[in-house]
Amino acid sequence: MASFDGSESTVKSDKYRSHIYGEGEKNTVWRFGGPPNYDVVNKLFEEGRTQVWEEGSPEEKVQRLLKTWEMEIFHKVRLEDFKPLTLKNTHSALTVKITLNALHRTFPRGFAIEIIQVYSGPPTIMYKFRHWAYMEGPFKGRAPTGEKVQFHGIGMFQVDDAMKVEKVELFYDPGELLGPLLKVLNWMVGRLNNFISRGLPVHTDY
């Protein structure tokens, strides 16, 4: 996730994503009023990544494509503003990103993502990825724990001759992501059962 910073002092570049700034984006319609600022999540990425890929390597190229894809589906409104994407089949991937954004208060620095390995490419690019964040915000009334939440998965980009993404598929175990959250939910259920067993009135807002 990223913040929006419309100040004039913002450095107009991003080390890991394309198609945010520049002449080609002067008419882009942004979902939150302006181009996103990924400084915070980039720092999280640099501090926690397990691989540093050489610029121009297959892994670095796929990692940039993945990060750019995430940025565009979440921050750009019009299909004509999408540069490396044709968006023929991204429903499940969009659902994943929207779900992660719904947890923004729980993970205020956002989710970082890295490529672990590229198995094949193009036109069918298969890769392994890792997504991670820290529970530094409240969740359903429970105080922040600072615990790291992460999950690994396999992704597929189907691209055309111009390297535009035609299809996206993601495969991952949601238990890796939900496990720490379920700990909090179990704590909440235990608290609720304790109140009930004592015959005390219960009020919930979640």
As a whole number, mean pLDDT of residues 79-98 equals: 62
- Are the CB atoms for 104 and 130 separated by under 8 Å? no
* 193 vs 139, higher pLDDT: 139
The C-alpha atoms of residue 165 and residue 87 are separated, in whole angstroms, by 7
The C-alpha atoms of residue 45 and residue 165 are separated, in whole angstroms, by 24
- Tokens at 148, concatenated: 């790291």
Q: Quick one: which H or E segment has residue 68? A: helix 58-75
Identify how many contiguous H helices and E strands the chain contains and give both numbers. Answer: 4, 6
The C-alpha atoms of residue 145 and residue 139 are separated, in whole angstroms, by 9
* 35 vs 9, higher pLDDT: 35
Work out the number of other CB atoms within 10 angstroms of the CB of residue 86.
16
Domain ranges of the chain: 3-197
| For the chain, percent of residues with pLDDT exceeding 70 | 70
As a whole number, mean pLDDT of residues 138-156 equals: 85
Residues 32-55: tens digit of each pLDDT: 899 999 999 999 999 999 999 999
Pairing of strands 36-37, 112-120: unpaired
Supply the pLDDT for residue 24.
87
Supply the pLDDT for residue 98.
47
Lowest mean pLDDT among 19-33, 39-53, 64-78, 87-101: 87-101
Supply the pLDDT for residue 199.
45
